[in-house]
């Protein structure tokens, strides 16, 4: 559908320093922007770190023309339980393969020239040992679904994605909004999708005038809307409109108004320095050690 763009995938991370090292030194991405947030009650069980969190956007270039990663770090959470929902992110980069070997990062060749590697926390990445395509080396995001055809119908008929490939034998389908964008690969499991406590979110932009129509269509089709159309203010930055959906398997999908998001997502040349400063100032591990207990694991939704 014209004007719609794949933007980013959200990863919850427990070890921010090692995660930053993976994206910067192995994948070769750079920090596009970094923000710290202080929300949360200071008096609850996680002490001064309860509710405090950060958001770091990393990628090969501006979100205007690259698919990037949003790294969400909660100071009071040590780890997350992975489910089977996120099946991998594929990057075409011979340099990333070289970097992984140089860093002696565990790397497994799964087919000719394609390697499997895990980011801290267990998130799977596939590295294709080829010259990076222009403009974006990020090829596709693979998500698990319980019934392939049901999900293909949702993403193509309701969300307007083009179906590029289908393989019923392998229970796979490749969809996207444009040839030169990161694609969405759906992998049929034939069983329930488990989101664990690390469940992520995929984000797309569209012209803001399309947002009410997306919401109205989901209501008409009795599909789940997690966050009805709302305007979100960011102090000193653009106000964006978003609607957050859930597909038949509960994958979270954010649609954001394109015009304001392009302003909001501009690269901050100081993003890397801000992340480094925040990591240096992060004493949450020491706080838990002093109180003789480990950082807690993320609790399941609803607890």
pTM: 0.93
Number of domains present in the structure of the chain: 1
Q: Region 135-139: what's the mean pLDDT?
A: 94
Task: Provide the domain limits for residue 282.
Answer: 5-290
Domain assignment present for residue 249? The answer is: yes
The band of 300, judged by pLDDT with boundaries at 50, 70 and 90, is confident
Domain assignment present for residue 300? The answer is: no
Flag whether pLDDT at 214 surpasses 60: yes
What is the tens place of the pLDDT at every residue in 286-296?
999 999 989 99
User: What is the residue-averaged pLDDT of the chain?
Assistant: 92
The band of 233, judged by pLDDT with boundaries at 50, 70 and 90, is confident
Domain assignment present for residue 34? The answer is: yes
CATH number at residue 264: 3.10.180.10
Domain assignment present for residue 299? The answer is: no
Neighbours of 273 (CB within 10 A): 12
Flag whether pLDDT at 133 surpasses 90: no
Domain assignment present for residue 140? The answer is: yes
The sign of the CA dihedral 159, 162, 164, 167 is positive
The pLDDT value recorded for residue 1 is 64
The first and second tokens of residue 248, run together, are 């038949």
Which residues make beta-bridge pairs with 302?
none
The band of 39, judged by pLDDT with boundaries at 50, 70 and 90, is low
Domain assignment present for residue 183? The answer is: yes
Lowest average pLDDT, out of 30-39, 77-86, 234-243, 263-272, goes to 234-243
The pLDDT value recorded for residue 2 is 66
User: d(Cα 25, Cα 10) in Å, to the nearest integer?
Assistant: 20
Q: Report phi then psi at 201, rounded to 5.
A: -155, 140
The band of 50, judged by pLDDT with boundaries at 50, 70 and 90, is low
Q: Region 112-122: what's the mean pLDDT?
A: 96
Half-sphere exposure of 31 (CA within 13 A, CB side): 22
Domain assignment present for residue 37? The answer is: yes
Flag whether pLDDT at 48 surpasses 60: no
Domain assignment present for residue 295? The answer is: no
């Amino acid at each position: 559908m014209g004007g719609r763009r794949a933007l980013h995938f959200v990863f919850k991370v427990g070890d921010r320093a090692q995660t930053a090292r993976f994206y910067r030194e192995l994948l070769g991405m750079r920090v596009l922007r970094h923000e710290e947030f202080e929300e949360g009650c200071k008096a609850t069980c996680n002490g001064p770190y309860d509710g405090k969190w950060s958001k770091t956007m990393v990628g090969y270039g501006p979100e205007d023309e690259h698919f990037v990663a949003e790294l969400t770090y909660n100071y009071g959470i040590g780890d997350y339980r992975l489910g089977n929902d996120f099946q991998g992110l594929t990057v075409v980069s011979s340099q990333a393969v070289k970097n992984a070997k140089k860093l002696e990062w565990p790397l497994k060749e799964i087919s000719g020239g394609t390697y499997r590697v895990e980011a801290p926390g267990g998130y799977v990445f596939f590295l294709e040992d080829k010259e990076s395509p222009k403009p974006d080396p990020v090829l596709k995001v693979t998500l698990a679904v319980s019934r392939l055809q049901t999900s293909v119908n949702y993403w193509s008929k309701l969300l307007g994605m083009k179906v590029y490939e289908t393989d019923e034998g392998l229970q796979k389908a490749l969809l996207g909004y444009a040839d030169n964008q990161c694609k969405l690969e759906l992998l049929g499991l034939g069983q329930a999708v488990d989101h664990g406590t690390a469940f992520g979110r995929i984000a797309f932009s569209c012209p803001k005038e399309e947002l009410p129509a997306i919401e109205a269509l989901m209501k008409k089709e009795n599909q789940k809307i997690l966050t009805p159309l709302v305007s979100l203010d960011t102090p000193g930055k653009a106000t964006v409109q978003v609607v957050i959906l859930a597909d038949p398997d509960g994958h979270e999908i954010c649609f954001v108004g394109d015009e304001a998001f392009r302003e909001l997502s501009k690269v901050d040349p100081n993003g890397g320095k801000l992340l480094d400063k925040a990591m240096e100032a992060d004493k949450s591990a020491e706080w838990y050690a002093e109180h003789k207990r480990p950082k807690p694991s993320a609790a399941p939704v609803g607890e």
